[in-house]
Structure 1
Amino acid sequence: MVKEHKSISSAQNPLIKRILLLKEKSRERKKQGVFVAEGLREIELAQKGGYSIETLLFCPEIFEGNPELFTTKDQSPEYISLSRNVYEKVAHRGTTEGVLALIGGKDHALGKLRFKNREPLILVAEAPEKPGNIGALLRTADAAALDAVIIANPKTDLYNPNIIRSSVGCVFTTQIGTGTTEEIIAYLKQQQINIYAAALTASESYAECDFKGSSAIVVGTEATGLSENWLQNSDQNIIIPMQGEIDSMNVSVSAAILIFEAKRQRGF
């Protein structure tokens, strides 16, 4: 017997208007402390990452699973069914499985970070703007099981739908901190974590560096690179030698090369 759920068939419903506002406006996500995640894998990863699922919305015509699969001993979301036309209005992409959720955000203050390794390996990205790049960085961080990703001077909030989508949910599986460049430098020094800044000046090849101790690999944007503060406070500036005509690569590609060299040195 299929359990009855509250249903919504009008796009004018206040909850539907709220969902659209949360998807479109960063200030609303910050104000309400809630964001929208779409897709079964993304929602499953959010729950696995310790996020609180407040409301699960599904379209019975599309969703083939058990709509109450996210109920646990610690969580009991509200379940609401949507008509197909309403679901298609709020869905970010047409290929998802007919399910989306309202999820409570987390506090990403630096003081909340907890490292699983005694010699942590961290990625710091300064002022990344493009959701696609941020998503790619988070996917790499997940693949390498980094202790944390720290975003300095963030230009967009982490729960932007495009970041969730491009990270394929890795925004939920990766421990993330945010702060200003000055705050993060002070934090890394306090934690006695070596700073390796990717830069073109006063640099040595990344292959010559020892990443086996506590390490923060710091990358900037392709357009402007890292701010001077990082270059003045790094323990070593590092570079990926180029053999072609250009002197830089996409930030997510560069970060992946540096991170997996560090992982290689650590025996993984």
Structure 2
Amino acid sequence: MIISVQNEKVKSWNKLKKKKDRMHSKTFLIEGFHLIEEVHTSNWTINEIILQENIDAPEYSKIYPVTIVSANVFKNISNTKSPQGIAAIVQVNQMEWKDFQNVLLVDALQDPGNLGTIIRTAVAAGFDAVILGENTVDMYNDKVIRSTQGTLFHIPVFQEDLLKKIPELKRDGFTICASALKNATFFQEANTEGKIALIVGNEGAGINNKILEMADTVVKIPIKGKAESLNVSVAAGILMYHFSR
């Protein structure tokens, strides 16, 4: 059992709290029974399970390497206020582009909770994939992962330069639909037939103008009460359900 926070393995786990170290090692850390079970039932790879002393291991953990640690060590590596005593090191998955019909493009979204909720909603709405543009929060940020409630492991999520990806999508027959408030038509009037690539943007600034100019159509959601706009994750959810019909 590991009892020291100075242990080299503990130090390597803590490094995964930083994006650059996650990118370098191509691994990331997740916590909690539910998230780990979601990975176990997906096509992602668990490299190692970290279990706090006196915590019962799930039955499936027998097929993975398991490291037992003290309560103090687990608290040291945990990102949550009330840790469940189980974590895992997961290998970054190589996504494969397929013949998708509905994809969501995310431009420069900053809030991890918003991104996690959007990914979770994309799965629920039946979207095929999510593409994260540059300057969007890292998909392996622990708050993003927790907000997805494990759905991250059941939908392909790509990281691309949207200015380069959008022309590829157009050549592949996608209609590019952007969400914005200005020079937009109500989403109910938009054509929902064929392949749809829906773009949502930054919480404050919206979609980058260069990206917005590449859209085939721009849509907005009617605001009936005294509110200027909707939270981006709520707006994305409404639009994804509409376009996935």
Out of 47, 50, 53, which is 1:54 matched to? 47
Counterpart CA distance in 2 for 1:154 and 1:173 is 23
Aligned to 1:82: 69
Counterpart CA distance in 2 for 1:212 and 1:105 is 34
Aligned to 2:88: 101
Out of 188, 191, 202, which is 1:221 matched to? 202
| CA offset digits 1:203-223 (Å, max 9, x no partner) | 111011121310011111231
Aligned to 1:152: 133
Aligned to 1:74: none
SS at match of 2:213: helix
Counterpart CA distance in 2 for 1:64 and 1:196 is 46
Runs of 4 or more, structure 1, over 6 Å off, are none
Aligned to 1:186: 167
Percent identical among aligned pairs is 29
TM-score using structure 1 length: 0.85
Out of 6, 12, 20, which is 2:6 matched to? 12
TM-score using structure 2 length: 0.93
- Matched residue type, 1:100: A
Q: Please give the residue correspondences for 1:241-260 in structure 2 after superposition, counting only pairs within 5 Å.
A: 241-260=222-241
Counterpart CA distance in 1 for 2:50 and 2:242 is 42
1:202 aligns with 2:183: yes
| CA offset digits 1:176-206 (Å, max 9, x no partner) | 1111121221221122111111112221110
1:166 aligns with 2:159: no
SS at match of 1:133: helix
Q: How many pairs are equivalent?
A: 245
Alpha-carbon offset, residue 242 of structure 1: 1.3
The CA RMSD measured in Å over matched residues stands at 1.8
Gaps of 5+ in 2: none
Gaps of 5+ in 1: 1-6, 72-76
